[in-house]
Structure 1
Protein backbone atom coordinates (compact mmCIF):
# COMPACT_ATOMS: atom_id res chain seq x y z
CA UNK A 1 0.00 0.00 0.00
CA UNK A 2 1.46 3.37 -1.03
CA UNK A 3 1.71 6.04 1.63
CA UNK A 4 0.54 9.57 0.87
CA UNK A 5 3.34 12.14 0.70
CA UNK A 6 4.49 13.43 4.09
CA UNK A 7 2.84 16.53 5.48
CA UNK A 8 6.19 17.87 6.73
CA UNK A 9 8.97 19.05 4.47
CA UNK A 10 12.61 18.55 5.49
CA UNK A 11 12.96 22.05 7.00
CA UNK A 12 9.78 21.64 9.08
CA UNK A 13 10.93 18.21 10.30
CA UNK A 14 14.24 19.74 11.42
CA UNK A 15 12.41 22.65 13.06
CA UNK A 16 10.14 20.48 15.24
CA UNK A 17 13.19 18.49 16.39
CA UNK A 18 15.26 21.54 17.36
CA UNK A 19 14.60 21.96 21.11
CA UNK A 20 11.24 23.71 21.04
CA UNK A 21 8.34 23.95 23.44
CA UNK A 22 6.25 20.87 22.61
CA UNK A 23 2.72 20.62 24.02
CA UNK A 24 0.51 17.64 23.23
CA UNK A 25 -3.24 17.51 23.76
CA UNK A 26 -5.80 14.72 23.65
CA UNK A 27 -9.43 14.37 24.69
CA UNK A 28 -11.30 11.90 26.79
CA UNK A 29 -15.00 11.19 26.20
CA UNK A 30 -17.06 14.33 26.68
CA UNK A 31 -14.30 16.40 25.05
CA UNK A 32 -12.46 16.93 28.35
CA UNK A 33 -8.89 17.80 27.35
CA UNK A 34 -5.62 16.57 28.73
CA UNK A 35 -2.34 18.35 28.06
CA UNK A 36 1.25 17.20 28.49
CA UNK A 37 4.63 18.68 27.70
CA UNK A 38 6.87 16.49 25.57
CA UNK A 39 10.55 16.11 26.39
CA UNK A 40 11.50 15.75 22.73
CA UNK A 41 10.52 14.17 19.46
CA UNK A 42 11.88 12.28 16.51
CA UNK A 43 10.72 12.33 12.92
CA UNK A 44 10.98 9.22 10.74
CA UNK A 45 13.35 9.40 7.77
CA UNK A 46 10.38 9.49 5.37
CA UNK A 47 8.85 12.32 7.51
CA UNK A 48 5.54 10.40 7.71
CA UNK A 49 5.70 9.64 11.44
CA UNK A 50 6.36 11.92 14.40
CA UNK A 51 7.20 10.28 17.72
CA UNK A 52 6.86 12.32 20.90
CA UNK A 53 8.92 11.53 23.97
CA UNK A 54 6.98 12.07 27.19
CA UNK A 55 7.26 11.47 30.89
CA UNK A 56 4.88 8.57 31.56
CA UNK A 57 3.91 9.78 35.07
CA UNK A 58 3.28 13.37 33.91
CA UNK A 59 1.44 12.21 30.77
CA UNK A 60 -0.64 9.32 32.12
CA UNK A 61 -4.04 10.88 31.33
CA UNK A 62 -2.98 11.91 27.83
CA UNK A 63 -1.56 8.46 27.13
CA UNK A 64 -4.86 6.91 28.24
CA UNK A 65 -6.88 9.25 26.00
CA UNK A 66 -4.70 8.35 23.03
CA UNK A 67 -5.05 4.64 23.81
CA UNK A 68 -8.83 5.11 23.83
CA UNK A 69 -9.24 7.08 20.59
CA UNK A 70 -5.91 7.67 18.79
CA UNK A 71 -6.47 11.42 18.42
CA UNK A 72 -3.74 13.95 19.20
CA UNK A 73 -2.87 17.58 18.56
CA UNK A 74 0.67 18.85 19.10
CA UNK A 75 2.03 22.39 19.10
CA UNK A 76 5.74 22.98 18.43
CA UNK A 77 6.73 26.54 19.34
CA UNK A 78 10.01 28.42 19.30
CA UNK A 79 9.88 30.58 22.46
CA UNK A 80 12.10 33.43 21.31
CA UNK A 81 10.35 34.01 17.95
CA UNK A 82 6.91 32.44 18.59
CA UNK A 83 7.29 30.55 15.30
CA UNK A 84 4.80 27.70 15.75
CA UNK A 85 3.53 24.64 13.90
CA UNK A 86 0.54 22.58 14.96
CA UNK A 87 0.14 18.95 13.88
CA UNK A 88 -2.86 16.68 14.34
CA UNK A 89 -3.26 12.95 13.94
CA UNK A 90 -5.90 10.28 14.37
CA UNK A 91 -3.67 7.20 14.63
CA UNK A 92 -1.56 8.03 17.70
CA UNK A 93 -0.33 5.03 19.65
CA UNK A 94 2.27 4.24 22.23
CA UNK A 95 5.33 2.56 20.72
CA UNK A 96 8.56 1.15 22.09
CA UNK A 97 11.51 3.38 22.78
CA UNK A 98 14.49 3.35 20.44
CA UNK A 99 17.97 2.95 21.98
CA UNK A 100 18.85 6.65 21.58
CA UNK A 101 15.60 8.05 22.97
CA UNK A 102 16.74 8.78 26.55
CA UNK A 103 19.75 10.73 25.19
CA UNK A 104 17.47 12.43 22.62
CA UNK A 105 15.13 13.56 25.40
CA UNK A 106 18.02 14.92 27.49
CA UNK A 107 19.46 16.72 24.45
CA UNK A 108 16.02 18.27 23.78
CA UNK A 109 15.76 19.53 27.37
CA UNK A 110 19.29 20.98 27.18
CA UNK A 111 18.49 22.84 23.93
CA UNK A 112 15.13 24.07 25.24
CA UNK A 113 16.71 25.39 28.45
CA UNK A 114 19.44 27.10 26.40
CA UNK A 115 16.73 28.89 24.38
CA UNK A 116 14.85 30.11 27.46
CA UNK A 117 17.67 31.01 29.83
CA UNK A 118 18.56 34.23 27.91
CA UNK A 119 14.90 35.24 28.18
CA UNK A 120 15.16 35.23 31.98
CA UNK A 121 13.60 31.86 32.82
CA UNK A 122 15.21 30.08 35.79
CA UNK A 123 17.15 27.02 34.62
CA UNK A 124 16.21 24.95 37.69
CA UNK A 125 12.49 25.54 37.11
CA UNK A 126 12.77 24.58 33.44
CA UNK A 127 14.71 21.39 34.20
CA UNK A 128 12.18 20.46 36.90
CA UNK A 129 9.28 21.06 34.51
CA UNK A 130 10.74 18.67 31.92
CA UNK A 131 12.46 16.20 34.24
CA UNK A 132 12.03 12.57 33.24
CA UNK A 133 14.01 9.59 34.45
CA UNK A 134 14.98 7.31 31.54
CA UNK A 135 12.86 4.48 32.97
CA UNK A 136 9.78 6.77 32.94
CA UNK A 137 10.12 7.80 29.29
CA UNK A 138 7.27 6.89 26.93
CA UNK A 139 7.08 7.20 23.14
CA UNK A 140 3.89 8.19 21.31
CA UNK A 141 3.90 7.93 17.50
CA UNK A 142 1.41 9.39 15.02
CA UNK A 143 1.03 10.22 11.38
CA UNK A 144 0.45 13.95 10.94
CA UNK A 145 -2.77 14.11 8.90
CA UNK A 146 -3.38 17.85 9.29
CA UNK A 147 -1.25 20.75 10.31
CA UNK A 148 -1.05 24.49 10.23
CA UNK A 149 1.26 27.41 10.78
CA UNK A 150 0.31 29.06 14.07
CA UNK A 151 2.97 31.77 14.16
CA UNK A 152 1.33 35.11 14.94
CA UNK A 153 0.85 37.14 11.80
CA UNK A 154 -0.92 36.91 8.45
CA UNK A 155 -0.11 33.21 7.90
CA UNK A 156 -1.53 32.06 11.26
CA UNK A 157 -3.93 29.20 10.64
CA UNK A 158 -2.63 28.52 7.12
CA UNK A 159 -2.80 24.75 6.53
CA UNK A 160 0.35 22.78 5.78
CA UNK A 161 0.33 21.18 2.36
CA UNK A 162 1.81 17.76 1.67
CA UNK A 163 5.54 17.95 1.01
CA UNK A 164 6.69 16.68 -2.36
Structure 2
Protein backbone atom coordinates (compact mmCIF):
# COMPACT_ATOMS: atom_id res chain seq x y z
CA UNK A 1 0.00 0.00 0.00
CA UNK A 2 1.32 3.44 -0.95
CA UNK A 3 1.93 5.98 1.82
CA UNK A 4 -0.45 8.95 1.98
CA UNK A 5 0.38 11.81 -0.37
CA UNK A 6 2.49 14.51 1.17
CA UNK A 7 3.82 17.73 -0.30
CA UNK A 8 7.01 17.42 -2.29
CA UNK A 9 10.23 17.82 -0.27
CA UNK A 10 11.80 19.77 -3.13
CA UNK A 11 12.80 23.43 -3.06
CA UNK A 12 11.95 25.50 -6.12
CA UNK A 13 15.48 25.62 -7.60
CA UNK A 14 15.90 21.84 -7.72
CA UNK A 15 12.32 21.43 -8.91
CA UNK A 16 12.90 23.83 -11.82
CA UNK A 17 15.99 21.86 -12.85
CA UNK A 18 14.03 18.60 -12.80
CA UNK A 19 11.06 20.03 -14.71
CA UNK A 20 13.42 21.35 -17.41
CA UNK A 21 14.73 17.83 -17.98
CA UNK A 22 18.23 16.76 -16.95
CA UNK A 23 20.08 13.46 -16.67
CA UNK A 24 18.08 10.87 -14.69
CA UNK A 25 19.52 7.70 -13.15
CA UNK A 26 17.20 5.23 -11.41
CA UNK A 27 18.41 2.70 -8.85
CA UNK A 28 16.98 0.02 -6.59
CA UNK A 29 18.38 -2.73 -4.44
CA UNK A 30 17.15 -6.26 -3.95
CA UNK A 31 16.30 -7.68 -0.52
CA UNK A 32 20.02 -8.44 0.04
CA UNK A 33 20.85 -4.79 -0.79
CA UNK A 34 22.55 -5.67 -4.09
CA UNK A 35 22.00 -2.56 -6.24
CA UNK A 36 20.91 -2.15 -9.84
CA UNK A 37 21.15 1.08 -11.82
CA UNK A 38 19.73 2.27 -15.15
CA UNK A 39 19.61 5.53 -17.12
CA UNK A 40 16.06 6.76 -17.67
CA UNK A 41 14.93 7.57 -21.21
CA UNK A 42 12.56 10.23 -19.89
CA UNK A 43 11.05 11.91 -16.88
CA UNK A 44 8.05 14.00 -16.00
CA UNK A 45 7.40 16.09 -12.89
CA UNK A 46 3.74 16.47 -11.99
CA UNK A 47 2.40 19.50 -10.14
CA UNK A 48 4.91 20.94 -7.71
CA UNK A 49 6.85 17.69 -7.55
CA UNK A 50 4.32 15.74 -5.49
CA UNK A 51 4.52 12.98 -8.09
CA UNK A 52 7.25 12.07 -10.56
CA UNK A 53 7.34 9.62 -13.45
CA UNK A 54 10.56 8.14 -14.81
CA UNK A 55 10.67 6.06 -17.97
CA UNK A 56 12.94 3.07 -18.55
CA UNK A 57 13.56 0.63 -21.37
CA UNK A 58 12.13 -2.59 -19.95
CA UNK A 59 14.51 -4.82 -21.92
CA UNK A 60 17.52 -3.04 -20.37
CA UNK A 61 16.06 -2.74 -16.86
CA UNK A 62 14.98 -6.27 -15.96
CA UNK A 63 16.91 -6.50 -12.68
CA UNK A 64 16.05 -2.99 -11.59
CA UNK A 65 12.34 -3.57 -12.24
CA UNK A 66 12.53 -6.87 -10.38
CA UNK A 67 14.12 -5.08 -7.41
CA UNK A 68 11.48 -2.33 -7.40
CA UNK A 69 8.68 -4.90 -7.59
CA UNK A 70 10.18 -6.89 -4.69
CA UNK A 71 10.94 -3.98 -2.35
CA UNK A 72 8.57 -1.23 -3.54
CA UNK A 73 11.47 1.24 -3.13
CA UNK A 74 13.73 3.22 -5.40
CA UNK A 75 16.17 6.11 -5.54
CA UNK A 76 16.37 8.52 -8.46
CA UNK A 77 19.13 11.02 -9.22
CA UNK A 78 18.53 14.13 -11.34
CA UNK A 79 21.79 15.78 -12.41
CA UNK A 80 22.57 18.79 -14.58
CA UNK A 81 25.49 17.65 -16.79
CA UNK A 82 27.08 21.08 -17.28
CA UNK A 83 27.32 21.89 -13.55
CA UNK A 84 26.98 18.49 -11.82
CA UNK A 85 24.21 20.03 -9.70
CA UNK A 86 22.42 16.93 -8.42
CA UNK A 87 19.46 15.94 -6.30
CA UNK A 88 18.68 12.40 -5.13
CA UNK A 89 15.11 11.38 -4.30
CA UNK A 90 14.02 8.30 -2.39
CA UNK A 91 10.55 6.80 -2.34
CA UNK A 92 8.47 3.84 -1.26
CA UNK A 93 5.10 2.91 -2.62
CA UNK A 94 6.03 3.18 -6.28
CA UNK A 95 3.73 2.26 -9.15
CA UNK A 96 5.03 0.49 -12.26
CA UNK A 97 2.91 0.68 -15.41
CA UNK A 98 3.19 0.26 -19.15
CA UNK A 99 4.00 3.43 -21.06
CA UNK A 100 1.12 4.68 -23.19
CA UNK A 101 0.78 6.91 -26.23
CA UNK A 102 -0.11 9.75 -23.84
CA UNK A 103 3.46 9.51 -22.47
CA UNK A 104 5.00 10.28 -25.87
CA UNK A 105 5.03 14.10 -25.42
CA UNK A 106 6.94 13.74 -22.12
CA UNK A 107 9.48 11.42 -23.77
CA UNK A 108 9.92 13.83 -26.69
CA UNK A 109 10.32 16.85 -24.35
CA UNK A 110 12.93 14.96 -22.37
CA UNK A 111 14.92 14.08 -25.52
CA UNK A 112 14.83 17.73 -26.60
CA UNK A 113 15.96 18.96 -23.20
CA UNK A 114 18.76 16.40 -22.93
CA UNK A 115 19.93 17.33 -26.43
CA UNK A 116 20.35 20.92 -25.21
CA UNK A 117 21.84 19.91 -21.81
CA UNK A 118 24.40 17.51 -23.25
CA UNK A 119 25.16 19.87 -26.14
CA UNK A 120 26.51 22.29 -23.50
CA UNK A 121 29.29 19.79 -22.77
CA UNK A 122 30.00 18.85 -26.38
CA UNK A 123 27.85 15.74 -26.81
CA UNK A 124 26.08 15.90 -30.17
CA UNK A 125 22.43 15.19 -30.96
CA UNK A 126 23.14 11.84 -32.66
CA UNK A 127 24.80 10.44 -29.52
CA UNK A 128 22.01 11.78 -27.28
CA UNK A 129 19.39 10.19 -29.54
CA UNK A 130 21.23 6.85 -29.41
CA UNK A 131 21.64 7.04 -25.62
CA UNK A 132 17.92 7.73 -25.08
CA UNK A 133 16.61 5.52 -27.89
CA UNK A 134 13.45 3.59 -27.06
CA UNK A 135 10.40 1.91 -28.55
CA UNK A 136 7.20 2.89 -26.76
CA UNK A 137 6.14 -0.76 -26.51
CA UNK A 138 9.35 -1.45 -24.52
CA UNK A 139 9.05 1.55 -22.19
CA UNK A 140 7.84 1.18 -18.64
CA UNK A 141 6.81 4.11 -16.44
CA UNK A 142 7.60 4.22 -12.73
CA UNK A 143 5.51 6.72 -10.78
CA UNK A 144 6.39 7.78 -7.26
CA UNK A 145 5.93 10.48 -4.65
CA UNK A 146 9.32 11.64 -3.33
CA UNK A 147 9.65 11.09 0.41
CA UNK A 148 13.26 12.14 0.94
CA UNK A 149 15.55 14.46 -0.99
CA UNK A 150 19.31 14.92 -0.72
CA UNK A 151 21.67 17.45 -2.25
CA UNK A 152 24.24 15.33 -4.08
CA UNK A 153 26.03 18.19 -5.82
CA UNK A 154 29.78 17.72 -5.32
CA UNK A 155 30.94 19.98 -2.51
CA UNK A 156 30.42 20.59 1.19
CA UNK A 157 26.65 19.90 1.13
CA UNK A 158 26.87 16.59 -0.76
CA UNK A 159 24.74 13.98 0.97
CA UNK A 160 22.86 16.47 3.12
CA UNK A 161 19.07 16.22 3.37
CA UNK A 162 17.25 19.02 1.62
CA UNK A 163 14.94 21.06 3.79
CA UNK A 164 11.59 21.94 2.29
CA UNK A 165 11.31 25.44 0.93
CA UNK A 166 8.92 27.54 2.97
1:5 aligns with 2:44: no
1:36 is aligned to 38
**Residues 47 and 138 of structure 1, relative CA distance in 2, 3 Å threshold:** same
**Residues 133 and 31 of structure 1, relative CA distance in 2, 3 Å threshold:** same
Shift of 1:33: 1.2
Give 5+ residue unaligned stretches, structure 2. none
Distance 1:112 1:26 in 2: 23
Per-residue Cα deviation, 1:115-161 (whole angstroms, up to 9, x for no partner): 21242224323221210112222110112111111111222222122
Distance 1:45 1:117 in 2: 28
Distance 2:100 2:136 in 1: 12
Pairs aligned (count): 164
CA contact (8 A) 1:5 1:163 kept: no
**Residues 98 and 47 of structure 1, relative CA distance in 2, 3 Å threshold:** farther
Shift of 1:35: 0.7
What is the root-mean-square deviation in Å for CA atoms of aligned residues?
A: 2.2
1:108 aligns with 2:110: yes
Question: In the alignment, which of 10, 16, 19 is matched to residue 17 of structure 1?
Answer: 19
**Residues 31 and 107 of structure 1, relative CA distance in 2, 3 Å threshold:** same
**Residues 43 and 117 of structure 1, relative CA distance in 2, 3 Å threshold:** closer
2:54 is aligned to 52
1:150 is aligned to 152
